[in-house]
């Protein structure tokens, strides 16, 4: 084989090598970019004192990209980031060594010691995380004045035990919840582990980050979602205010909160001529007989829907040519 015959093979090999190198550089750049945009819960291992050890191991327990968060479904003033669970297991006894970090490891909050303004509480099974199951117990920590809230689960703490703690008023001081969990619960249940679930920021505190880190399309999407929720919330507020004014006029305001819940369960999320009539019918029923069942409320709603359909059909017949 002549040299000229080998040239295409050499060129192809060089091109392949260049493509591989380019792919590696791209992957490295993407990893560096993602690291700088990450929100993480991690633990830095040292020799047990306050010195900084550059060679100490760092263990990540949960992480997510800042831009993968979203405005909270119940409060559009909060930016909530769901953390991806890592393969590393955090023992409850190691909770004090954990930190919330951004930008590749810059600590913005520490679980070592809460300030006097910061506090936490045992939330039990009351959580908006659907994967709470078994004997897992939800814990919330609010770091002040940043208004940053960390939610994590404890697994291996028996349900009967954490429910007893929730019922006992003086079981722990809210600003001392970390010492309580580490020095009491972890000692009793050394196999207990922690799963970090989410971090919630006050949108006002991170406004600059939201503007700089969200890609344009993502920014448009979250802004639109936020506006939809805001409109829905304002619509619900108008409904509640309509219920309130009507019940005050009829002198049955003591049942207002119950009636407001009934109306929202029925799916009345905004005011309209039809929904106003339904609300007035429900309030009239309440005035006559007090509290009633959801079955009765649904029956009133269904009857009025049928009546509305009949009226609409009659209106169409009148408009049709003879």
Among candidate residues 290, 283, 254, the one with its CA nearest the CA of residue 268? 283
Return phi, psi of residue 172, to 5°.
-160, 155
Q: What are the structure tokens assigned to 207, written together?
A: 């406004």
Q: What pLDDT is stored for residue 82 in this prediction?
A: 93
Residues lower than pLDDT 70 in the chain: 1-34, 45-56, 73-76, 113, 115-116, 127-130, 134, 226, 228-229, 231-232, 312, 314-322
Structure confidence by residue, pLDDT tens digits, 102-145? 887 788 888 886 766 788 889 887 766 667 776 789 999 998 87
**How much is the pLDDT for 95?**
94
Residue 20: predicted pLDDT: 55
Kindly report the number of other CB atoms within 10 A of residue 284's CB atom. 13
Rounded Cα distance between 121 and 51, Å, is 31
d(CA 168, CA 272) in angstroms, rounded, equals 47
pLDDT at 108: 86
pLDDT for 214 equals 75
What is the rounded distance in angstroms from the CA atom of residue 206 to the CA atom of residue 101?
14
Containing 30, the helix (H) or strand (E) segment is: helix 3-37
**Structure confidence at residue 32 (pLDDT):** 53
Asked whether the beta carbons of 153 and 197 are under 8 A apart, the reply is yes
Q: Tell me the C-alpha distance between 61 and 39, whole Å.
A: 11
Cα radius of gyration (the chain): 29
Predicted confidence at residue 47, as pLDDT, reads: 47
DSSP string for residues in 200-250 = EEETTTTHHHHHHHS-HHHHHHHHHHHHHHHHHHHHHHHHHHHHHHHHHHH
- Token code pair at residue 210: 């939201």
Structure tokens at 215: 């890609």
What pLDDT, on a 0 to 100 scale, did the predictor assign at position 250? 86
pLDDT of residue 91: 95
């Amino acid at each position: 084989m002549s040299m000229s015959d080998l040239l295409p093979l050499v060129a192809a090999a060089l091109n392949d090598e260049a493509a591989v190198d380019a792919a590696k550089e791209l992957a490295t750049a993407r990893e560096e970019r993602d690291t700088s945009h990450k929100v993480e819960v991690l633990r830095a291992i040292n020799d047990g004192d306050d010195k900084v050890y550059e060679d100490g191991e760092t263990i990540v327990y949960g992480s997510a990209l800042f831009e993968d968060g979203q405005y909270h479904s119940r409060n559009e003033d909060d930016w909530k980031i769901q953390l991806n669970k890592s393969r590393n297991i955090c023992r409850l006894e190691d909770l004090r060594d954990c930190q919330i970090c951004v930008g590749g490891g810059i600590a913005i909050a520490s679980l070592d010691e809460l300030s006097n303004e910061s506090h936490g509480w045992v939330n039990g099974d009351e959580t908006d995380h659907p994967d709470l199951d078994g004997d897992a117990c939800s814990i919330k920590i609010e770091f002040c004045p940043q208004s940053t809230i960390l939610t994590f689960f404890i697994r291996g703490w028996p349900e009967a035990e954490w429910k007893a703690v929730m019922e006992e008023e003086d079981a722990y001081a809210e600003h001392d919840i970390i010492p309580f969990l580490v020095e009491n619960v972890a000692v009793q249940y050394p196999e207990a582990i922690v799963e970090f679930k989410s971090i919630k920021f006050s949108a006002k505190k991170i406004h600059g980050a939201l503007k700089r880190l969200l890609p344009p399309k993502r920014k448009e999407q979250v802004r639109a979602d936020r506006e939809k929720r805001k409109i829905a919330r304002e619509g619900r507020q108008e409904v509640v205010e309509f219920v309130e004014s009507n019940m005050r006029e009829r002198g049955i305001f003591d049942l207002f909160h119950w009636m407001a819940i009934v109306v929202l369960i029925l799916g009345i999320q905004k005011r309209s001529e039809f929904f106003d009539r339904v609300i007035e019918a429900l309030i009239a029923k309440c005035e006559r007989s007090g509290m009633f069942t959801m079955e009765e409320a649904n029956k009133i709603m269904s009857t009025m829907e049928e009546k509305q359909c009949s009226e609409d059909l009659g209106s169409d017949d009148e408009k049709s040519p003879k």
